[in-house]
Amino acid sequence: MVKINIVGVGPGSPDYVTPAARKAVQSAQLVIGAQRSLNLFTGDIKGETIVLTAKNLRNALESAAGSAAKGFEVALLSTGDPGFSGLLHTVLESGLFNIEEINVVPGVSSIQACAAKLAISWDNALLFTFHEGNVTDDEKQVLDFAVSTGQDIILLPDSKAFSPRGISNYLIKSGAGKDTPVYVCENLTLPEEKIISGTLEEFSKRTFGSLSVMVIKATEKLSE
């Protein structure tokens, strides 16, 4: 029995909200999401809402579990796609729901939007996310190795813990070529969308917005 719908709401523009996502929200008695996610469903929300923040995440999930236990339909809004740097992992780790109680409505992720904008066939690209903010040395080393072996990389940086500027500086210090081609897609699908191209050296001196996707077109490989 489904107790919670985790709904992917896309990268930001209402044009990228799927009909399935709107249907899930329209039928929910409780809708939980960040304010900018809730704003995508003006006119669709029929039930109660909880504005999700970093501080009330656990309480919001407990409210979702309590409402679902009473037979109410719940929609939890996740930016992008719930399965990639989204809320699916958080819900599974919460211990409040079993997998059988979860229904995932997929959405368009910013990774997909970035690949489309840059015309990248991303089936062979390596994907990284640093959105959680807890960036470990092991994760950095995996990224460094991927760059050094000539992999194309699409990643979600963290604007504070591991920003595009910080990533560029780290990779240069680790031996990556300063002229390695890099792109940053800011505010994808939104009116203020920007696509910035440059090199690791140039990006090591620049600051980017929090809604960014970074692409590293690695050109150097380790000698065999």
CATH of the domain at 68: 3.40.1010.10
Residues 96 and 131 in one domain: no
* Spatial separation of the C-alpha atoms in residues 10 and 80, rounded to whole Å: 4
pLDDT of amino acid 3: 81
C-alpha 181/C-alpha 51 separation (Å) is 39
Mean pLDDT by 10 residues, the chain (224 residues): 89 97 97 97 95 94 93 95 94 90 96 95 91 82 91 92 95 94 97 96 95 84 40
State the distance between the two ends of the chain, measured CA to CA, in whole angstroms.
Answer: 53
- Judge if 80 and 124 occupy the same domain: no
- Whether 87 and 121 map to the same domain: the answer is no
The count of structural domains within the chain is: 2
pTM for the structure as a whole: 0.90
SS3 192: coil
- What is the pLDDT at residue 223? 38
190 shares a domain with 99: no
From 107, 127, 100, select the one nearest 33 (Cα to Cα).
107
Nearest Cα to Cα of residue 50 among 75, 73, 71, 72? 75
What is the domain-level CATH number for residue 135? 3.30.950.10
pLDDT value at residue 172: 96
Could you tell me if 38 and 101 lie in one domain?
Answer: yes
Strand order in the sheet with 152-156: 126-129, 152-156, 212-217, 181-186, 194-199
Q: Which candidate, 199, 204, 80, 73, places its Cα nearest to that of 131?
A: 80
Whether residue 64 is found in the same domain as residue 40: yes
96 domain residue, yes or no: yes
Instruction: Assess if residue 140 is contained within a domain.
Output: yes
pLDDT at 104: 97
pLDDT at 1: 65
pLDDT attached to residue 220: 47
Same structural domain, 96 and 177: no
Whole-number pLDDT of residue 222: 39
Torsion of CA 60, 63, 68, 72, to 10 degrees: -100
Range of the domain at 201: 111-217
Alpha-carbon distances, residue 175 vs 90, 149, 180 (angstroms): 35, 12, 11
